[in-house]
Amino acid sequence: MTTAHLSGRRVLLIIGGGIAAYKALELVRLIRKAGGEVMTLLTKSGAEFVTPMSLAALSGHPVRQDLFMPEDETAMGHIELSRWADLVVVAPATAGLIAKAANGMADDLASTTLLATDKKTLWAPAMNVRMWEHPAVQANVATLKSFTGFHQGAFVGPDEGEMACGEYGFGRMAEPAVILQAIDRLIGAGSRPLAGRRAVVTAGPTFEPIDPVRGLTNRSSGKQGYAIAAALADLGAEVVLVSGPVFLNTPQGVRRVEVEAATEMKAAVETELNAAPVDIAVMSAAVADWRVDGVATGKIKKAPGGPPALHLIENPDILASVSKSGSVRPKLVVGFAAETSDLEDNARAKLSRKGCDWIVGNDVSDDVFGSDGNAVTLFTRQGSETWERQSKTDVARKLAQRIADHFKA
Ligand code: CTP
């Protein structure tokens, strides 16, 4: 039995009501044994068959049960749960859960989570044979299977055999070991489309020294760039994050190179380009346009003659130099355009002036720096797509997915 893809991945297991719910306990154990992390969500009827206590003990996480629990909503509500997971598994999947998900009904934690998630969902149905064969259930199953992209529903089982109700036929939930294999396959399939690709991401502000204690910088938090590095790594890329000074943790699986000034950032990026071929460059740093000419070696003192005059000189444009780096040019170079007006014109002008392939244009006139949300337009040489305001994490995931699609094509 191979579970090559499960290690380090997160499974949200939704447990519906049915005698097969006891098998969910074994499934939790198997996922963890394979190196995966499991969070369980127990429906009201599921709780008639297995106890939250056993699930919490086996999964190592609190069990989620209610849509409206003040402490759960602050800790992890339905939106956070769906974001947390790499894959959602419904086992046992009852006729009721299948019907709700197929029809977009959301009236409890399980169904709202299923509607809120943009992750693939694996269904392990368990029900009486005549329920399973009912055209209503079959129509709902067909609907879930017809969903595409992230919302695509995959099925494992049900198996044929004797049922708890004494009847014989299709309706038994697949065995936990078989569900585990299906989980592993689903996580493996297309979930690491950037495996084998190397990416360099710049993020954060730069800090341009005036003297040993002072400097010029800007209000970039680095959040968007860090989220992009994380999203590319999640899709399997080997990511180097060249970061200016920020207060953020290094995302898992990402190598961080810390720099301060723009010239250092440029040198660090060049080192990476020359070390090994880079497929993807995403230059999201807010590089200071100017630096101080002749940084003072000692602290500048207040003098009777008034404040010192700072002579500024232009910093090198890292994005432009990466775009024109000849034999070491990454296959795809993505820049950012932070604009307060005329987004499209300015972004398109930057695209051609800097020679990059894509530009992510964002309107910074409105609450972007330091905030968790972002509204961007992706400009390519072929066209543009505007993405409604969403979290920087979601913007990053979407961009990483577009990058993966680009390489697939
Ligand atoms: N950039 C860079 N090096 C610089 C300046 C900018 O690599 N010295 C990159 C940024 O990382 C971003 C893109 O260029 O991907 C555009 O940055 P932005 O600040 O919007 O543009 P500027 O070139 O600074 O133009 P302007 O300030 O005139 O808008």
**pLDDT score for 149:** 65
Fill in the DSSP letter of residue 329: -
Structure tokens at 44: 């009201």
Q: Residues near 309 by Cβ (< 8 Å), separated by ≥ 6?
A: none
Distance 287 CA to ligand 1 centre (A): 6
45, 94 Cβ separation under 8 angstroms: yes
Structure tokens at 52: 């939250």
218, 368 Cβ separation under 8 angstroms: no
Q: Which domains, ranges and CATH numbers included, belong to the chain?
A: 10-188 (3.40.50.1950), 198-408 (3.40.50.10300)
Q: What is the pLDDT of residues 229-259, one digit of tens each?
A: 999 998 889 999 999 999 999 988 899 999 9
334, 360 Cβ separation under 8 angstroms: yes
248, 334 Cβ separation under 8 angstroms: no
Question: Residues lining ligand 1, judged by CB closer than 6 Å?
Answer: 202, 262, 283-285, 287, 289, 315, 317-319, 335-338, 350
**pLDDT score for 320:** 98
Question: Mutation test of ligand 1: which of 269, 324, 333, 350 has the most ligand atoms closer than 8 Å to its C-beta?
Answer: 350
The answer to whether the pTM exceeds 0.85 is: no
Q: Which helix (H) or strand (E) holds 47?
A: none
Structure tokens at 75: 């800790």
Query: How far is residue 192's CA from residue 5's CA, in Å, rounded to a whole number?
Result: 9
- CA-proximal residue: ligand 1, atom 21 (nearest): 337
- Other C-beta atoms lying within 10 Å of the C-beta of residue 39: 21
Which long-range contacts link 178-182 to residues 24+ away (Cβ below 8 Å)? 179/27, 179/89, 179/91, 179/122, 179/124, 180/1, 180/3, 180/6, 180/27, 180/30, 180/31, 180/34, 181/1, 181/3, 182/122, 182/124, 182/154, 182/156
Count CA atoms within 13 Å of residue 319 on its CB side.
Answer: 26
Mean pLDDT by 10 residues, the chain (409 residues): 76 96 97 94 96 95 78 62 89 97 94 89 95 97 84 87 84 95 84 90 98 96 96 93 96 93 98 97 97 96 92 98 97 94 94 97 76 90 90 91 91
**pLDDT score for 75:** 56
Query: How far is residue 41's CA from residue 35's CA, in Å, rounded to a whole number?
Result: 19
For the residues of 132-168, what is the DSSP string, one character each? HHSHHHHHHHHHHHH--GGG-EEE--PEEEE-TTS-E
Count CA atoms within 13 Å of residue 306 on its CB side.
Answer: 2
Q: Which residue has the tokens 């995966």?
A: 36
Question: Mutation test of ligand 1: which of 243, 290, 317 has the most ligand atoms closer than 8 Å to its C-beta?
Answer: 317
Give catalytic residue positions: 165
User: β-strands 358-363, 373-379: how paired?
Assistant: antiparallel
**pLDDT score for 234:** 86
Point out the ligand 1 atom lying closest to the alpha carbon of residue 320: 7
Question: Mutation test of ligand 1: which of 323, 336, 357 has the most ligand atoms closer than 8 Å to its C-beta?
Answer: 336
Query: How far is residue 241's CA from residue 251's CA, in Å, rounded to a whole number?
Result: 9
Closest CA to 265 of 309, 312, 225, 214: 225
Q: Residues near 183 by Cβ (< 8 Å), separated by ≥ 6?
A: 6, 11, 31, 36, 87, 89, 122
Structure tokens at 348: 């398109």
Point out the ligand 1 atom lying closest to the alpha carbon of residue 335: 15
